[in-house]
Every structure is written in structure tokens, then in C-alpha cells.
């Protein structure tokens, strides 16, 4: 069974002073992978600008917009159509011997292979006081540990918008125990990596028909690599495994690799960005 998704991404940028030249890079296009197929994508802007499809440094698809005429306000709209397969998150063969897996993640080969996603970044750094905040139980399988971590993060933090931003560090999040999906995901990544499990931060869209947290905004979750199984998606904001409601755009070490919008603006003064997302499907 497949779901026929329509995703609308809208953003409005206002600038205090006229902008003479600007570049934007949108990383909002869903990727093609085993469970999702992008059927069409469409970009529009309110100003006369060139729109090009390109890639970012990690080979995810982007839309780059270059505008050379002065403006103070610009609207963007993107519309994507996508086929998403029904997914069973538990569709894998459980490991028979946990110790083999734990031995494997200790091996140099494994560490080198997954170096990028084992690395601590500024946004996924556990400082000295928090470094043992959550340790894995070696009697359980890696999957079981990650699933428990998913739940722990979900319980540990409560969802609240406007209290953190994209630069908020884990120390503050752990102390205040609130945040949004980025913060849940960063905390999950940090702890999993601390326990030697490669994890990647994922940005995407969430279909929220069933009352999940995620708002009408972009969503973020995590993929963790489990030996002999592969990358498995966890959504710590909702204490779920990733399913057909999750539409992936890109992944990276943390938010900074996946920022949906980057801009180079030749102007002075303040600017304000608002955006909204609409996700709907027909079965």
C-alpha cells in the first residue's frame, strides 16, 4: 500500500532595508529512498529570481535562488508530490548474540567506517557533568537500548516551542528539560554516540493526522545504525519508530548539516523569516 503525499512549504522573509542581491539555498526537497519516491517538485517566488536545482555539500538536493533586483519582502512556495510506502518499523531479524554486536561497535573498522556519525559536534556535545546521563545496558540488544533511549528522551524533555533556538546547546536543554524536535533529536544523537552507536540527525516532514508533536513545522528525528540491521529511524519527540508519516529530506551530523534555509543577503538591518508546512495524503 502506498500514500500519495502533497507537501506545501511556504516561507515569507521580510527585510528592514531593501535587499540588493541575495542568494538562498533551500534544503526542503524530500529525498528519494527505499520508502519514498518524489514525483514532482515545484518552486515559486514572489520576486523575479532565478531558481535552480542543485545539491549541497552532502549531495542532498537543494533549490538555489538568486535575486538581483531590490526588494524588501519575498515569499517562497514549494510543492512536492511523493509516494510513500507503508512501513513496518519492526521488519528486521533481531540479533541473536548481543555480545557480537557490542564487540563489533568496539572494532576499529566499525569506528572508522562510521566516523562522521560517531563524532561529537557542538550541538551534540555532552559536557563532563552530563556525559554519563544515560548509559546502555549491555544485557539488552542495541535496538532495545535505543528504543528505551527513545522513550527516555521523550519523557525527559517536554515539548515547548519558543524556548530554544537552533543554536541551543545540550547543557541548557538537559537542565531546563524542554525544547522542540531538534533538541530531542540532538539529545538522542549525543547519548547514542556516547554509547558508540552511529546516529544521524534527520530533517523532514511529519504527517500529523494522529496528533503527534511536530506542529505545522518541519520535523526532525534520528537514524541510528544497528549492526546487521542497518539504519533505523527513531522519533524521540513522539516516542515512535519512524513510519510512513515521516518524510525524509536529508541527514547529517546535526542540525547545521540540514538547515532548511541558508541565505547570503547583501543588505543591512534586521530580517524576519516565517514559514509554514502543510502535509496531506491520499491513500
Footprint of other proteins on this chain (CB under 8 A)? 23, 25, 50, 52, 54-59, 62, 64, 66, 108-109, 111-113, 115-116, 118-119, 253, 262, 264
d(CA 79, CA 206): 15
| Residue number with CB closer to other proteins (1 or 112) | 112
Please give the grid coordinates belonging to residue 66. Answer: 538568486
H helix runs in 98-139, sequence order:
98-106, 108-113, 115-118
| Residue number with CB closer to other proteins (241 or 258) | 258
| Residue number with CB closer to other proteins (60 or 212) | 60
According to DSSP, the residues that pair with 221 across neighbouring strands are: 202
d(CA 157, CA 160): 9
Residue with cell 542540525: 255
Phi, psi of 31 (to 5 degrees): -85, 165
Vertex 37 angle, CA 251 and 77, to 5°: 75
Q: Are strands 2-19 and 61-67 parallel, antiparallel or unpaired?
A: unpaired
Please give the grid coordinates belonging to residue 190. Answer: 549525543
Q: How far are the Cα atoms of 145, 184, 243 from residue 211, in angstroms, in the given order?
A: 26, 18, 14
Q: Are strands 21-26 and 261-266 parallel, antiparallel or unpaired?
A: antiparallel
Q: In angstroms, what is the minimal distance from the CB of 55 to other proteins?
A: 5
- Are 218 and 16 spatial neighbours (Cβ–Cβ below 8 Å)? no
| Residue number with CB closer to other proteins (63 or 241) | 63
Q: In angstroms, what is the minimal distance from the CB of 251 to other proteins?
A: 12
CB atoms within 10 A of CB 166: 12
- Are 67 and 75 spatial neighbours (Cβ–Cβ below 8 Å)? no
Q: In angstroms, what is the minimal distance from the CB of 44 to other proteins?
A: 19
Q: In angstroms, what is the minimal distance from the CB of 196 to other proteins?
A: 13
| Residue number with CB closer to other proteins (113 or 175) | 113
Closest CA to 60 of 82, 89, 38: 38
Closest CA to 188 of 158, 224, 212, 242: 224
Amino acid at each position: 500500500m502506498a500514500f500519495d503525499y502533497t507537501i506545501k512549504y511556504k516561507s515569507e522573509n521580510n527585510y528592514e532595508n531593501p535587499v540588493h542581491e541575495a542568494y538562498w539555498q533551500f534544503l526542503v526537497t524530500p529525498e528519494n529512498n527505499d520508502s519514498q519516491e518524489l514525483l514532482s517538485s515545484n518552486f515559486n517566488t514572489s520576486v523575479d529570481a532565478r531558481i535552480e536545482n542543485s545539491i549541497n555539500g552532502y549531495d542532498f538536493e537543494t533549490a538555489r535562488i538568486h535575486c538581483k533586483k531590490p526588494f524588501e519582502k519575498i515569499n517562497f512556495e514549494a510543492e512536492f508530490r511523493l509516494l510513500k510506502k507503508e512501513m513496518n518499523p519492526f521488519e528486521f531479524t533481531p540479533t541473536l548474540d548481543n555480545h557480537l554486536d557490542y564487540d563489533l561497535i568496539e572494532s576499529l573498522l566499525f569506528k572508522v567506517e562510521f566516523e562522521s556519525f560517531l563524532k561529537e559536534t557542538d550541538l551534540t556535545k555532552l559536557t563532563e557533568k552530563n556525559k554519563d546521563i544515560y548509559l546502555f545496558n549491555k544485557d539488552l540488544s542495541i535496538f532495545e537500548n535505543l528504543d528505551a533511549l527513545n522513550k527516555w528522551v521523550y519523557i525527559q524533555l517536554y515539548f515547548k516551542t519558543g524556548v530554544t533556538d537552533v543554536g541551543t546547546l545540550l547543557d541548557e536543554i538537559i537542565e531546563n528539560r524542554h525544547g522542540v524536535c531538534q533538541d530531542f533529536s540532538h539529545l538522542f544523537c549525543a547519548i547514542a554516540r556516547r554509547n558508540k552507536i552511529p546516529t544521524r540527525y534527520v530533517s523532514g516532514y511529519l504527517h500529523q493526522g494522529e496528533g503527534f508533536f511536530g506542529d505545522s513545522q518541519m520535523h526532525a528525528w534520528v537514524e541510528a545504525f544497528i549492526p546487521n540491521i542497518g539504519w533505523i529511524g527513531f522519533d524521540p519527540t513522539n516516542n515512535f519508530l519512524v513510519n510512513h508519516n515521516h518524510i525524509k529530506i536529508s541527514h547529517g551530523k546535526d542540525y547545521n548539516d540540514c538547515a532548511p534555509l541558508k541565505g547570503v543577503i547583501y543588505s543591512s538591518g534586521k530580517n524576519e523569516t516565517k514559514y509554514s508546512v502543510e502535509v496531506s495524503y491520499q491513500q
